[in-house]
Amino acid sequence: MAFSALRPHPALASFVLGYWFIEDLPGEHEGLPIRTTPHPVAVLTLNLGTPCGSEFTAGAPRASLLGVQSRPRHWTSTDGIYFVMVMLSPPGLARLFPSTGKESRDELVELGSLLGDATVRRLSDDLSAAWTPRRVADRLDAWLLQRLSRRRVGPEVERLGSAWSHLRRTARVDAAARALAISPRQLERWFLLHTGHSPKQLLGLERVQASLRAAQTGRGDPLAGFSDQSHQIRAWKRHLGMTPGQLGGAFESRMAEFFVHERDAAPEGLAHFL
Instruction: Give me the pLDDT at residue 272, please.
Output: 45
The upper half-sphere exposure of residue 269, i.e. CA atoms within 13 Å in the direction of its Cβ, equals 19
pLDDT at 257 over 70: no
> Helix axis angle, 155-170 relative to 199-217, nearest 10°?
50
Q: What is the pLDDT of residues 45-91, one digit of tens each?
A: 999 999 999 999 888 899 999 999 999 998 888 899 999 999 999 99
User: In terms of pTM, does the model score above 0.85?
Assistant: yes
pLDDT at 26 over 80: yes
The upper half-sphere exposure of residue 146, i.e. CA atoms within 13 Å in the direction of its Cβ, equals 7
Burial 64-78 (b: 16+ CB within 10 A, else e): bbbbbbbebbebbbb
Number of C-beta neighbours around residue 247 at 10 A: 16
Instruction: Give me the pLDDT at residue 262, please.
Output: 62
Q: What is the pLDDT of residues 147-206, one digit of tens each?
A: 999 878 888 998 999 999 999 999 999 999 999 999 999 999 999 999 999 999 999 999
pLDDT at 271 over 90: no
Instruction: Give me the pLDDT at residue 249, please.
Output: 63
Instruction: Tell the burial category of 168 from Cβ atoms under 10 Å away from its Cβ (0-12, 13-18, 19+).
Output: middle
